[in-house]
Amino acid sequence: MIATSCLAQNARKDDVAMIKLTQTTSLGTVTILAPVPSALITVGLGNNSCTITSGIASCSPLATICSSSSDAVCNQPNPTNADINGNYGFWLPPGRYSVAVTSIGTTGRVITYDMLIGMNDGTKVVNFPGALSVTSITAALLTATSVVASAITDTGLTVGNCVQATTGGLLTTSSGPCGTSSGTLTATGSPVAGQGAFWSSGTSVTGSVNWTYSSASGHSVTQGANSTDTLYMKRFTDSSPTGSFLHFQNNAANTDLFLIDATGTMTAGLVPWTRLTTFPGGCPAHQFVTIIATSPTCIQPGFTDLIGNINVNQMNSGSGASSATFWRGDGTWAALGGVCTAIGPVAVTNTTTLTSLLSCTVPANTLSAGSLLEVDVQGYNGSGAADSITTNISLGGGTACQTQVTTGVANFQPWNVLAKFFVLTSGASGTANWSCEWFSSASGGGVVGPNGIVGNPTIAVNTTIGNTLLIAVQMTVLNASNTVVGQGLKVVIF
Q: In this structure, what is the dihedral angle of CA atoms 126, 131, 132, 135, given to the nearest 10 degrees?
A: 150
- Same domain, residue pair 252 and 384: no
41 domain-assigned: yes
* Amino acid identity for residue 322 in this structure: S
Domain boundaries, position 260: 243-275
- Same domain, residue pair 248 and 349: no
CATH number at residue 423: 2.60.120
The pLDDT tens digits along the chain (494 residues) read 344 444 557 899 999 998 877 778 877 888 778 899 999 999 999 999 999 999 899 999 999 999 998 899 999 999 999 999 999 999 999 999 999 999 988 888 999 999 875 544 444 455 554 455 555 555 444 444 455 555 566 666 777 777 777 766 677 777 766 665 555 667 776 777 777 777 776 677 787 888 888 888 888 889 989 989 888 888 888 888 888 878 888 999 888 888 888 888 877 776 665 555 555 556 666 666 665 555 667 776 665 556 666 777 767 777 777 766 777 767 777 666 678 999 999 999 999 999 999 999 999 998 999 999 999 999 999 888 888 999 999 999 999 999 998 888 888 889 999 999 999 999 999 999 999 998 988 877 788 877 778 888 999 999 999 999 999 999 999 999 899 999 999 999 88
- Same domain, residue pair 376 and 473: yes
- 446 sits in the region (left: phi over 0; alpha: psi -120 to 50; else beta) called left
323 domain-assigned: no
**What total of structural domains would you count in the chain?**
3
CB atoms within 10 A of CB 340: 23
Nearest to 96 by CA among 79, 114, 121, 81: 114
- Same domain, residue pair 108 and 6: yes
| Rounded Cα–Cα distance for residues 302 and 184 (Å) | 74
CB atoms within 10 A of CB 136: 5
319 domain-assigned: no
146 domain-assigned: no
CA 191 → CA 105, 177, 181, 200, distances in Å?
81, 19, 20, 13
- Same domain, residue pair 251 and 359: no
* Amino acid identity for residue 421 in this structure: F
SS3 491: strand
- Same domain, residue pair 262 and 411: no
- Same domain, residue pair 109 and 257: no
421 domain-assigned: yes
308 domain-assigned: no
Backbone angles phi, psi at 346, to 5 degrees: -125, 125
- Same domain, residue pair 350 and 480: yes
- Same domain, residue pair 472 and 343: yes
- What is the pTM assigned to this prediction? 0.37
Nearest to 173 by CA among 194, 149, 152: 152
Contacts of 228 (CB under 8 A, 6+ apart): none
111 domain-assigned: yes
- Same domain, residue pair 394 and 483: yes
| Listed residues 254, 275, 296: the one ending a domain | 275
CA 123 → CA 79, 90, 118, 139, distances in Å?
31, 22, 11, 18
Task: Tell me the torsion sign for CA atoms 177, 181, 186, 189.
Answer: negative
